[in-house]
Amino acid sequence: MSAPINPDTVRGSGRQELPAYVSNGLVGLRVRELPLTTGMALVSGYSGQHYERQIEAAAVAPYPIAGDIALDGVWLSDVPQQAAKLEQDYDFSSGELTTRFEFRAGGRLAKVEVITFCSRQDPTLVCQEVSVSVDAACALGLRATIDASGADGRAMRHDRLTPGEPEPATDGTLLWESAGGLSTCGLALVTQVTGAGEIAPSRPPLRDHRLVSEYGLRAQAGRTVRLRQIASVIPSAMHAMPDQQAARLAAKARFDGFEAIRKGNRAAWAELWKGRIRVEGASRHWQGLIDAAFFYLNCSVHPSAPASTSIFGLATWHDYHYYFGHVMWDIEAFAVPPLSVLQPTAAEALLAYRVDKLPAARRNAQLMGRRGLQFPWESAPGSGEEAAPLPGTAAWHEDHVSLDVARAFALYADTTGDREYLRTRAWPVLAGVSEWISTRVTKTAAGYTINASMGIAEREQPVDNAAFTNMGAVVVLRAAIKAAQTLGLDADPVWSRIADRLEIPFRGNAVISHDAYRVDEEKGATPDPLMGLFPFGFPLDEAQERETLALYLGLAQDYIGSPMLSALYGAWTARAGDRSLALRLLDEGYGQFCVGRFLQTLEYRADRFPEQPQAGPFFANIGGFLTGLLFGFTGMEPGSDDPQAWMRRPVNLPAGWTAIEVDRLWIRGKPMALSARQGQLAALEPL
């Protein structure tokens, strides 16, 4: 297995760009260019009341691994301008961020290296090692801090002792309650200094929402001193007394040791990278973008996560002003398909969130006067209930979310071949959403319609027969009927009647976005019918597919640069047979979204939408890109049939690309290699 391409070293500071994003799928950090300074942290399943909108939202948690350095009593936090020669490297092969800088104070020079990572093997653990070497003997101060000063909420308790034990097992614990009291988060810290003999830290009580362990020592010239800090971070979604469980796992981390945890994390990443997507004939630039997309998607999900991830994973920053960490359809539509074959246990965890929240989806349907399951447009991470900001206009008509969720369950069941999963997890969702469809449609003399709905383009006014919604409904109904046949169950006969007679809006042979569609209407270039074709899988005959592709590819320049569907233009254009245009639109629809520090894929293309904040990594774009690589260009369409029959059309790649190779995908619970060479049928080979 070849190693992934790491992004370029970032040197200097002061850029207007997103800080590094470090995550393991349970805990996510924004690590600043000076990493000892407090960044921002999110924890899966931890939510609170939003300060402005007053809705349930993902809550910023206490930052678990802040720190500080002092030379002869002068602390870096007091004179941050004294840091110089800053540079950061991100090792995608291990998820480790390394920062180097120099710090001058009191006539002394310290060279500092900071390694930061979130452990994939021990997912509650966040680890940091600060190595300091001075040019002359001096007093050296080192601080490790859990910093809650930037987190809304309050400290419910903290402890420096271990109840009933003569010696503390950790440096301290903190129980933090989110704003509105919606959930709590427990943190525990352990620290160690090496290279200076045995030194005990001072551990004052919680002050200014900071829990600090401070070491003071005499440093010798040229001798490296290391401060190692490990924090365990646990949301109340995973334990009723999360600070106590965090103490247990932090104490275990102290017993295991920093190096063992680091080794385990690297081994876990090495296992994931067996699924690296390699493109022959592509430039190093494109392979680097593929590796970055693979890394950011996989680092943001974990089988242990108690909730699904948001559209930005576990990343937030000060000027993000929408989405609120809610779980939305983009995750099922764009992230679940590639994860189903790259990291299926994590895909299952994303879907488990929806299973856990089925009562909320059923109540949501009831509130709208319908039966079955209607999944919320913006699902609150804790309750699973609708949490769209008031007055919730999008939630009134955005019906396709339920179809995206149901289709993801069907796809996961097909790729894994897990019959028990189909029976106990996928079938209840498929049946519940199909029941909802039967109460959402309107029966007409000609068949069925879905009126006053909204497609992917979020327009001011709803429309009748939004193409993507209706195409998705047909796909889900047929998946539910097939699941019933496989399981020996009876499907409601009305499902088949609706699937056969639900109106799909056409103009000639081309599917159009909705009834009375105009090319020059608001968001008229949105290619939602193409999303229904691929990756959703609605069947069109050859003429219909050709003309639908031609219509919306002809409007590409009016849409490309927008979020979500832009990343799929390359796959759609290759499907239409134009390899040169496929490469160009892949760049315009995805490559140019990847800018700034460490190739974080932005939501909007900055040159097309300069007024939008820099927000990323954005998983609709990333997931769409990876979905195109694995399924679009290769012609592989998972189904309930034998995987060797999934290759529905010959491979068609962007110009210059000769093959897509993956050493290991998980298909039907077994490892398989994918080889997709230009012009041939792709092949899956058991390992």
The angle at the Cα of 580, spanning 576 to 583, to the nearest 5 degrees, equals: 95
Asked if the bond preceding 610 is cis, omega within 30° of 0, the reply is no
pLDDT in tens, 364-375: 999 999 999 999
The single residue listed with the structure tokens 């039907």 is 668
pLDDT at 106: 87
Q: What is the pLDDT of residue 459?
A: 85
| 542 to 509, 545, 548, 571, 626: CA distances (angstroms) | 10, 5, 10, 17, 25
Q: Kindly report the backbone phi and psi dihedral angles of residue 264, in degrees, each rounded to the nearest multiple of 5, phi listed first.
A: -65, -40
pLDDT class of 147 with cuts at 50, 70, 90 = very high
In the chain, pLDDT over 90 holds for what percent of residues?
Answer: 95
Q: For the chain, give the mean pLDDT.
A: 96
At residue 239, the 3 state secondary structure works out as: coil
Tens digit of pLDDT for each residue in 404-445?
A: 999 999 999 999 999 999 999 999 999 999 999 999 999 999
Helix axes 284-299, 619-627, angle to 10 degrees: 120
What are the residues facing 677 on neighbouring strands? 659
Q: How far is it, in rounded angstroms, from Cα 31 to Cα 21? A: 6
Q: Do 309 and 315 meet the contact criterion of CB atoms below 8 Å apart?
A: no
Return the higher-pLDDT residue of 591 and 12: 591
Q: Residue 615, exposed/middle/buried by CB under 10 A (0-12, 13-18, 19+)?
A: buried
Quick one: pLDDT band at residue 490, thresholds 50, 70, 90?
very high
In this prediction, residue 457 has a pLDDT band, given cuts at 50, 70 and 90, of confident
Mean pLDDT of 618-629: 97
According to DSSP, residue 188 is labeled E
Give the H or E element holding residue 405: helix 400-416
Compute the average pLDDT of residues 285-307: 98
Q: Does 608 have pLDDT greater than 70?
A: yes
**CA-based diameter of the chain, in Å?**
90
Confidence of residue 216 (pLDDT cuts 50, 70, 90): very high
Q: Which residues contact 320 (CB under 8 A, 6 or more apart)?
A: 312, 613, 615
**Which stretch of DSSP H or E encloses residue 495?**
helix 493-501
Instruction: Compute the CA torsion angle 149, 152, 154, 160 (nearest 10 deg).
Output: -40
111, 195, 201, 381 from 223: Cα distances, Å? 11, 7, 20, 47
The string of DSSP letters for 106-164 reads: TTEEEEEEEEEEE-SSSTTEEEEEEEEEESS-EEEEEEEEEE-TTSSSEEEEEESS-TT
Other residues' Cβ atoms within 10 Å of the Cβ of residue 508? 11
In the structure, how many helices (H) and strands (E) does the chain have?
A: 18, 28
pLDDT given at position 1: 64
